[in-house]
Structure 1
Amino acid sequence: MTDECHGFLGALAPDHRTRLLTFSHETALPAGTRIFEEDGEAHRFWILRTGRVALDVHTPGRGTDVVETLGSGELLGWSWLFEPYRWHLGAQVLHATRAYEFDAHEVRAAIEEDPAFGLAVTRCVASVAIGRRLKASRMRLLDLYGPPGARAAPGGGPR
């Protein structure tokens, strides 16, 4: 199975997947690269082909905590789709990563121009990225900040 047929891209119909990929170029991100910072301008996004990227949050007095790790086939960045187009988390490359990189302005223009394409991409971002990512972030934050010895249960409550 190619990387175009699983993960985020696999959730799109073939014609929408092909159209989305026309807005991309391949990029390599070395380990240790800081891709974006919390509250920075979200003007690009990526679909990971290989490697690992950590999503993190900065907590005053505590430092930076990883809330989720992304890998092959996953969407890196969804803040580009929703105003005010600012990152909610930071991202750093853990292992050398190859990815499709997209210019958010171009993709948003295509979404506005073609409602069927726009609905497909928006639904995919919402279901594949936002819903799952928010749940994973919530679970990780419960693990980090919950009472000592308590871990989050799969349904979101304490165990």
Structure 2
Amino acid sequence: MTPSITLRMTHALPPEHRDRLMRTAREVAFRPGARLFDEGGRADRFWVVRDGRVALDMYVPGHPAPVIETLGPGDLVGRSWLFEPYVWQLGAEATTPVRAYEFDAVAVRAMCDDDAGFGRATGRWAGRVLSHRLYAARARLADLYGAHPGGGAR
């Protein structure tokens, strides 16, 4: 499932807020197979992909972690940084070489608190991403586990 273009930072945030956020960015790179974060870990940063692909996965007891969604250029990786208790709800792994902008979550949350317009725009962006990811997770898990021998989909 490819995210809607409105989920990408370049379209989700007004230029003045996007520029302010980008001034705090740090460029990073990940090799294929590198874990950006694991479900249950402390969500203290987030990324916007410049190049490459990142797979979001979910722990499912007794099964290999299914890929919920694959993200690419312009996509937000991580949204748990904005919402208490600041714990990752999914895992993320680079599936190709990835170049990304990395943001310090504590600093960005402080920016949100200090500037209501920036905070509102950032919250709406993260909220749209959250809504999309919940839908993607539900659809993917229904595809994987919804109908099986001896059971059935609800």
TM-score (norm 1): 0.87
Q: Which residue of 2 aligns with 1:21?
A: 22
- Paired with 1:53 and 1:29, the residues of 2 have a C-alpha distance of 10
Query: Are 1:77 and 2:78 an aligned pair?
Result: yes
Q: Which residue of 2 aligns with 1:111?
A: 112
Question: Residue type matched to 2:141 in 1?
Answer: L
Higher strand share: 1
- Paired with 2:46 and 2:60, the residues of 1 have a C-alpha distance of 24
Query: Are 1:47 and 2:48 an aligned pair?
Result: yes
Other structure's SS at 1:63 match: coil
- Paired with 1:93 and 1:140, the residues of 2 have a C-alpha distance of 19
Query: Are 1:137 and 2:149 an aligned pair?
Result: no
Other structure's SS at 1:133 match: helix
Q: Which residue of 1 aligns with 2:147?
A: 147
> Which deviates more from structure 2 when the two are superposed, residues 95-104 or residues 129-138?
129-138
TM-align CA RMSD:
1.8
- Paired with 1:117 and 1:142, the residues of 2 have a C-alpha distance of 36
Does the 8 Å CA contact 2:52/2:97 hold for their aligned counterparts?
yes
Q: Which runs of 4+ in 1 moved over 3 A?
A: none
- Paired with 1:135 and 1:62, the residues of 2 have a C-alpha distance of 20
Q: Which residue of 1 aligns with 2:4?
A: none
> What residue ranges of structure 1 are gaps of 5+ in the alignment?
1-5, 150-156
- Paired with 2:63 and 2:8, the residues of 1 have a C-alpha distance of 33
> What residue ranges of structure 2 are gaps of 5+ in the alignment?
1-6
Does the 8 Å CA contact 2:56/2:91 hold for their aligned counterparts?
yes
Does the 8 Å CA contact 2:9/2:18 hold for their aligned counterparts?
no
- Paired with 1:143 and 1:72, the residues of 2 have a C-alpha distance of 26
- Paired with 1:18 and 1:67, the residues of 2 have a C-alpha distance of 30
Q: Which residue of 2 aligns with 1:30?
A: 31
Other structure's SS at 1:40 match: coil
Question: Residue type matched to 1:98 in 2?
Answer: R
